[in-house]
Structure 1
Amino acid sequence: MKEKHVIGSKRNIGLVVCLTLFSAILSLIVFGVFAYNIMNGYNDRMSLSFLLISIIICIFLGFTKFVTIIHELSHKKTADFYNHKAEVILDKKRLEQIKKETKRSCRGYCQFNDGDEFRKHEFIRIAIAPFCILLLLIVISIFLFFINYAKDVAFPFSLLILFKLPGCLNDLQMILDVKRNYNEGDIIKYSAQKYQFMLHKAN
């Protein structure tokens, strides 16, 4: 092996812009559906009170942690499918250590065994799993708007997911990096010391 580099170490501005625009469009759809419900009888006192309480709970009780767990478990369960052992880290001290090493803040982290090697398709599917799951949850939350009682939690639930969606940026950057730089014979390997995936070039 003559060369190796950290996968996803360089931020792609184009990807940042695309993800931001995509999140903005989804937000407009969610708020549009919410506005439609208000115009069609959603404004009864009990529903609006429950909606307000739900939003307050989401903000002050840190329900974003719940979405973080979904994000990291999506990585882990997909890795399990390909027989890669992984651990979801939520402990603040360990997350601070990861932040110091990677220079990236994180609310959760999915760690693999040191030296674990991944095929290209395995790596891409493990990395993109949270993005796909969160998109699916957003679609479900939009449909919940049209179901009595369930619509009361649909708006705060969709807000939580939209808040987390930009957190998939690092995953998408790694996928883009691999798609651009991976060649036949290269090896994708995880470094537990650096908390990073390394691309080892074959030539």
Structure 2
Amino acid sequence: MSDAAGERSGGRGARERILRTAVQLFARDGVQATGIAKLTETAQVSTRTLYQHFASKDELVRAYLERLESDGVLAAEASLEQAALSPRERILGLFVEVALDAAGTIRGCPLHNVTVEAAGTMPEATVLVERHKQRFAKRLIETAAEAGAQEPEVLGRRLALIFEGARALSTSLNDTRPLRDGRDLAEALLDQATQGISVR
């Protein structure tokens, strides 16, 4: 059997190639728009090999979401983990204007995008996304406390709402202005909360 044939039938590293391809295509084109034929062609594996490693597309989606988390904090949330920054800077760093992709499009949060596409049809994926969003909100609450907020839980929850809403609206409008507006709102809330003014 030739090397090319071995590659198409699987070979070493087939699972990783499939997963890397899923990360690329699902984030760029969406889960529903990415069919098995496109996945296998791009990953250079047979359909049989794909199903040997992932029993269903839902299982591949779950592995995709787990990979997004295991590769580290999602890029848009990375500022919360930058120890060299002050807590305030880490929070405001969430609202940087995202870069457009090669097609001139804002893709938004890949986890949120899966939830929207799934629309209740992929419960395991939904659970993974919910878990991540809850952890993110908890991290924001902890960072708000580090920043000296009077009511860190309230502030953290509201910052999460502003961040998620700003990203979703930026994606819908393909416009970075909602993120700028979100930063202004976050800064105002931080000022209130750290000056002893209730954010309720």
Give TM-score, length-normalised by structure 1: 0.29
Higher relative contact order by CA 8 Å / sep ≥ 6: 1 or 2?
1
Higher helix share: 2
Give TM-score, length-normalised by structure 2: 0.30
Higher strand share: 1
